[in-house]
Amino acid sequence: MIEKQSDNVENLEENVSEEANKIEDSSVIENQTSEDKQSLNVDDENIYAEDLKNTITNNDARLEQLEKEHETLKSQYVRIAADFDNFRKRQSRDQDDLKVQLVSKALTAILPIVDNFERARQQLKPESDEAQTLHRSYQGLYKQLVEVLKQQGVSPMRVVAQQFDPKLHEAVLREPSQEFNEDIIIEELQRGYHLEGKVLRHALVKVSMGPGQQNSQEPEEKDKVEEDIDSENPISEDN
């Protein structure tokens, strides 16, 4: 009986020892597991931090690239906008120039008619009532024509006693003059006109050679204009 109890005690001690070993092993395993988990967490944190750092670096690089692309696109937009504005202004100028050219061409074709009115007015000397009536009708038509030219921006040049300017005048004749200095316009042979500040038709003029010049007029300087155009009564804005 005592032997059995002794065996039981030994068995119990063995069981207790085994349980203690198991508990100790379990504690070791738990500690190891905890250490492994901590190690894994540290590694994960390091990996996450590295990934986050790489992501931030990539985002910064991408942001820098996008900013450069934005600046490039902005520069292109500004350049295109400037080119379009220049194109619009150029188109507007071209249209204005074309309009002036067309108007100038039409008005230039009318000016010889005005010249003929001038010549006819100088030749008409109404004496009878019928001639007076005809003369008044003619004057009415002439004034209407001059008014139309004014409305289109046409204005006559005033050239007598002015300095000769090849941009405005065309010298047909040159002769000595005791009254005018050299290169001063003595006489207007054909009226010149402006259109909106630009020359519509150059004035044909006689220019002074100054006092003491006795040179005769060269044959090529003589022009039929002097014979065909009488400038004593040119178009005036008062008519």
Residue whose structure tokens are 């009708």? 137
Position 194 scores a pLDDT of 92
The first and second tokens of residue 63, run together, are 């942001």
- Dist. CA 175–CA 101, nearest whole Å: 36
- The dihedral formed by the CA atoms of 127, 132, 138 and 144, expressed in degrees to the nearest 10: 130
Query: What is the value of pTM for the model shown?
Result: 0.52
230-235's contacts with Cβ under 8 Å and 24+ in sequence apart are 230/118, 230/119, 230/122, 231/187, 231/188, 231/189, 231/190, 231/191, 232/122, 233/118, 233/121, 233/122, 234/118, 234/156, 234/188, 234/191, 235/114, 235/118, 235/146, 235/156, 235/191
| Tens digits of pLDDT across the chain (239 residues) | 545 445 555 555 566 566 555 655 556 555 666 655 565 566 667 777 777 888 888 888 888 888 888 889 989 999 999 999 999 999 888 888 888 788 888 888 889 988 888 887 777 776 777 777 777 887 888 888 889 888 888 999 999 999 999 999 999 999 998 888 999 999 999 999 998 888 999 999 999 998 864 444 444 444 444 444 444 444 444 44
| CATH, domain 155-233, list 1.10.3720.10, 1.20.1290.10, 2.60.120.620, 2.30.22.10 | 2.30.22.10
The first and second tokens of residue 33, run together, are 């597991």
- Dist. CA 237–CA 146, nearest whole Å: 8
Ordered by start, the domain boundaries in the chain are 155-233
- Dist. CA 184–CA 161, nearest whole Å: 6
- Dist. CA 140–CA 81, nearest whole Å: 54
Position 221 scores a pLDDT of 44
